[in-house]
Amino acid sequence: MDILQLIVSGLANGCVYGLIALGFVLIYKATEAVNFAQGDFMMLGAFITLGFTNEHYLGLPFWLSVCLAIAIMGMLGYLLDLIVLRRMFGQSQVAVVILTIALGFVIRFIAGAIWGHEPQSLESPIAGVELRFGGLALGMDEIWVIIITVLLTLLLYFFFARTKLGVAMQASSQNQLAAYYMGIPVKRIHSMIWALSGIVATIAGILFASKGSIDPTAGLLGIKAFAAAVIGGFGSLPGALLGGLIVGLVEPFAARYMPAGYSQIFPYLILIIMLIVRPHGILSQIQTKKV
Amino acid sequence: MRIVFKTSYDADIRLFKHNAQAFWYLLLFTVAILLPFLVNDFLIGEATLVLIWAICGMGLMMLVGQTGQASLGHAAFMAVGAYSNVIYQINFNMPFLLSFPLSGLTAGVAGALVALPTTRLHGIYLAIATLAISVLTEDIIIILEPITGGIAGIFAPDIQIFGYTFNRYGNPVELYWLVLAITFVVVYAYRNILRSPTGRAFAAVRDSEVSAKAMGVNVARTKMVAFAISCTITGLGGALMGHFATVFTNETFNLIISITLLLIIVVGGLGTIHGAFFGSIVFVMLPLLISVTRDAVGSLTGSGSITIPGLESGIFGAILIGFILFEPMGLYGRWLKIRTYFELFPFYRKDMFRRQKSYLKTERTR
Amino acid sequence: MSLLELTNVTLRFGGLVAVNDVSFNVEEGEVFALVGPNGAGKSTIFNMISRFYTPAEGEIKFEGKSILNWEPHEIPSQGIARTFQNIELFEQASVLQNLLVGRHTHRRSNFLADMVFTPFVRNEERVHREAVEHVIDFLDLQAYRDKMIAGLPYGVRKVVEMGRALAIKPKLLLLDEPASGLSVEETQDVAFWIEDIKKVMGITVLMVEHDMHLVGAVSDRVMALADGRMLAIGTPQEVQNDPAVIEAYLGSDDMSEDGEAA
């Protein structure tokens, strides 16, 4: 029976990984920049919500705090692209990678300075409730995480498939020049993508912080989310979620059935095997250079 | 500006462009040798640390600056160098003179093994693969506890060469000279690579893989060689770092160290040997500066010494962002600009060093 | 035996047939030009010869041996060098270094010897340098020897690209639009160089070119392609007057005066 528990908690973790992975796949697809600070975005989003809603801080209503956090993180993402990333246009990808890693350091420092380095839990309506079926106890928070992720995925799907902005984002990620010629303001679209991924990260952070606790180093989770994105196929949105779920599912089982010490290397082992066997991921989208 | 009249092909092959340049570097080297007579033991220790970081930085520079391959996991190869060096000495009773080069070789082989499957990857995939390796290394060190000491760490014995002892605390000056000599050898080998076909093949792979292939450069093999050389150098640096730290654990060579190495080469100036040195000077000086500032601020406000956890890495991050945005050629680039300004005074133009978009353009299609 | 033989070569990208059953031979010592509108499959043929693409059907032979088992980086050492349509130079290196990379196939040292810079490596460097200096003299690149590619004008880059391929000392030189984007004077230089490459250096040239004046001036034989199929093959004169070619280029109307439209 505890297999089911493992599956649910794995899926819930996987959803968080998947959402973080989704965030940088969004950015990568649109701008070719890789945001290594996505995990720290997640952490920051969680802390902002926590700072608004927890009794210890401002004690605002939960949903208001969520809206505020989403707005702030969206704006932060937008401004970050506008002020920092736009200067990097056309520069080497390595430089962008280093830049975003450095950004993660700074975010971690700021979060630590404001909210301290102790792990804290988000006081959200979904935290701490348990569902009991006979001998089986499922965390309501974990089930909520899964439900919200599914809803968010559907929402994003409709956004990209149906709305004008979503289609414009897709177009500019497929061919920047052509999109530009068609009158799509590519630069602004890029900033909006950063805003969007800031929002997705915030939601991931809220989910993560309400089913456990969060501290400034939680951003390092982003590395696992990276593994997830690569396993799923970098550049594919469904792939990011799929990869997240795989990594999330593997972890609790490895922890259960493998000797201690081996379990945490599992996601990375899968990643490396994946890179060797199928470097472009499960749902790959590759193009080769024309000469 | 000095005009050099070249009268033989050797003029382009030799290490220094002209005698004046050779003179300045010789002077620099002499000062470096005489440094222990000029400053106290604490600063000699710091200078040793600068040299060790510079060696590790040169290793990464070979890969990132010369071959254009990103590695976010070079601390792993420092770890391989440090651990293998000590293990060879303790478990196999090897003298330092044997264990040290062997540890470099071990790291080089490890690098080549990592490169074997990953050379097909570029840009972002390679970055992530190396990142994963860096994370994995920490766990592998714990798993291999019987020989690595696991979380408890491992103790590096003093370096012994022909009965002479080199210890950071006992005889820092001798250790400094030893590290200086090793640095000299590494720089010489690095320069040789730059002026030989291997270095040109690296540059070819960095600038255009397609056209490197069309010129007959075996891209996969070249990347592997670059990885091997790079990891050998970094491994040697790691072995020295092990001796310098005297005790090290699985956390000594963590992800932060990998990022630190990147910081060193980016802040110093990507693609130049000078850059590795400039960068490591900044990196070693920074904690000193921060603690001095902290004490000054503390005594000024009367609140005593304040400690803000994570402050150092926060400042590192901010510096890194500043350099990437405003001085992508690093400190060495800034130095070149200042020098040219004075050499050409008053004819220096602002756009003389306008940087063309370089290294990796679009990554998706390569 | 011809130097280069393509027999019934076909290449598809998904559903699109980029090259459809093309056969032709390039004889030793001639200049052979491929002409045709954009998307006719000319560059694709180049990419198959330099092994970036593998044909779905057909055979490509160089000096009587199939080249389809070779890797792209093995092609230059067999004596085939190429240039790229959109210049692919090593941007962060000097002209000299770019040309020296062209000597890579003649390299006999390994990276260990390079690291120590043995006398052998030094001698090799001198030999490579001399070979490159011949190319520099031939293409009048003396003034740019130590300049970074990143700062060079387009016309010079085009010449460096050609020089880099010549530094390989190939038997067959593939020139992908050597005159595109060049001024009239520069194009004339290219014409002279191609003549000299053929006559003085004895290198066979296969080129893709849109400028029909250049094609008419230097090539011995021309093949016209459209939509991946071969239209006509023969002397420049014959091909220009071929009804199928005229139709492909200008529709079914009469041709005005020459093939400039290409």
Q: Which residue has the higher pLDDT, B12 or A133?
A: B12
> Which is it for the CA torsion B185, C121, B203, C159, positive or negative?
positive
What is the identity of the amino acid at B80?
A: V
Q: Within an 8 Å CB–CB cutoff, is residue A94 touching chain C?
A: no
Of A150-159, A234-243, B119-128, the least confident:
B119-128
Burial A67-89 (b: 16+ CB within 10 A, else e): ebbbebbbebbbebbbebbeebe
Locus of tokens 């014995």: B157
Q: What is the pLDDT, as a whole number, of residue B361? A: 40
Closest CA to B329 of C150, A80, A222: C150
Q: What are the residues facing B248 on neighbouring strands?
A: B154
Locus of tokens 């050389």: B229
Closest CA to A176 of C103, B84, B362: B362
Number of other CB atoms surrounding residue A262 within 10 Å: 15
C22 three-class SS: strand
Q: Within an 8 Å CB–CB cutoff, is residue A1 touching chain C?
A: no
Label the pairing between strands C31-35 and C204-208. Answer: parallel
- The C-alpha of B205 sits at a distance from chain A's nearest C-alpha, in angstroms, of 15
Residue B20 pLDDT > 90, yes or no? Answer: no
Q: CA B77, CA B88: separation in Å to the nearest integer? A: 16
Look at chain C and count its residues: 262
In chain C, residues with a C-beta closer than 8 Å to the C-beta of A90 are: none
Closest CA to B135 of A281, A257, A220, A39: A220
Q: What is the pLDDT, as a whole number, of residue C173? A: 96
Is A202 contained in some domain?
yes
Say which CATH class B39-353 falls into.
mainly alpha
Q: What is the pLDDT, as a whole number, of residue C260? A: 42
Q: CA C237, CA B146: separation in Å to the nearest integer? A: 81
Cα–Cα–Cα angle for B124, B130, B131, rounded to 5 degrees: 85
ipTM of the complex: 0.89
Closest CB from A104, A226, A291 relative to B128: A226
Q: Where are the domains of chain B?
A: 39-353
Rg (CA), chain B: 21
Q: What is the pLDDT, as a whole number, of residue B352? A: 64
Cα–Cα–Cα angle for A160, A161, A162, rounded to 5 degrees: 100
Q: CA A224, CA A14: separation in Å to the nearest integer? A: 10
Partner-chain contact A93 B363, CB within 8 Å: yes
Mean pLDDT of A79-94: 81
Residue-wise pLDDT tens digits, C137-174: 999 999 999 999 988 899 999 999 999 999 999 999 99
Is A245 contained in some domain?
no
CB C30 within 8 A of CB C194: no
Q: CA A77, CA A71: separation in Å to the nearest integer? A: 10
- The C-alpha of A86 sits at a distance from chain C's nearest C-alpha, in angstroms, of 22
Q: CA C221, CA A264: separation in Å to the nearest integer? A: 66
Note if the bond before B346 is cis, omega within 30 degrees.
yes
Residue B302's pLDDT band (boundaries 50, 70, 90)? low
What is the identity of the amino acid at A153?
A: T
Phi-psi region of A123 (alpha: psi -120 to 50; beta: other; left: phi over 0): beta
> Which is it for the CA torsion B169, B173, B176, B181, positive or negative?
negative
Percent of chain C with pLDDT over 70: 95
Residue C134 pLDDT > 90, yes or no? Answer: yes
Tokens found for residue B29: 């080297």
How many domains does the structure of chain A reveal?
1
- pTM higher than 0.90 for the full model? no
Tokens found for residue A120: 């804290």
Partner-chain contact A117 B308, CB within 8 Å: no
Q: Within an 8 Å CB–CB cutoff, is residue A175 touching chain B?
A: no
Q: CA A264, CA A246: separation in Å to the nearest integer? A: 14
Closest CB from C82, C84, C93 relative to B203: C93
Closest CB from C74, C88, C133 relative to B210: C88
C125 three-class SS: helix
Tokens found for residue C223: 């093949």
Is A290 contained in some domain?
no
Is A280 contained in some domain?
no
Q: Within an 8 Å CB–CB cutoff, is residue C39 touching chain A?
A: no
Residue B70 pLDDT > 50, yes or no? Answer: yes
Q: Where are the domains of chain C?
A: 1-75+203-262, 80-169
* Beta strand spans in C152-253 (E): 172-176, 204-208, 221-226, 229-234
Q: What is the pLDDT, as a whole number, of residue B357? A: 46
Q: Within an 8 Å CB–CB cutoff, is residue A291 touching chain C?
A: yes
Q: Do domains C1-75+203-262 and C80-169 have the same CATH topology?
A: yes
- The alpha-helical segments, DSSP class H, found in chain A are 2-31, 38-53, 62-83, 93-115, 140-162, 164-174, 176-181, 186-210, 221-232, 237-257, 266-277
Architecture in CATH for domain C1-75+203-262: 3-Layer(aba) Sandwich (3.40)
Q: CA A213, CA A21: separation in Å to the nearest integer? A: 20
Q: Which domain holds residue A83?
A: 12-218
Q: What is the pLDDT, as a whole number, of residue A217? A: 86
Tokens found for residue C193: 């160089």
Mean pLDDT of chain A: 84
- The C-alpha of B351 sits at a distance from chain A's nearest C-alpha, in angstroms, of 17
In chain A, residues with a C-beta closer than 8 Å to the C-beta of C43 are: 291
Please give the torsion angle defined by the CA atoms of residues B255, B260, B265 and B267, in that order, rounded to the nearest 10 degrees: 140
Closest CB from B317, B325, B365 relative to A109: B317
Residue C262 pLDDT > 70, yes or no? Answer: no
Partner-chain contact B216 C151, CB within 8 Å: no
- The burial of A207, by beta-carbon neighbours within 10 Å (0-12 exposed, 13-18 middle, 19 or more buried), is given as buried
Partner-chain contact B321 A275, CB within 8 Å: no
Locus of tokens 């900044």: B282
Q: Which CATH superfamily is domain C80-169 in?
A: P-loop containing nucleotide triphosphate hydrolases (3.40.50.300)
Closest chain B CA to residue A265: B136
Q: Within an 8 Å CB–CB cutoff, is residue C47 touching chain A?
A: yes
Chain centroid to CA B94: how far? 26
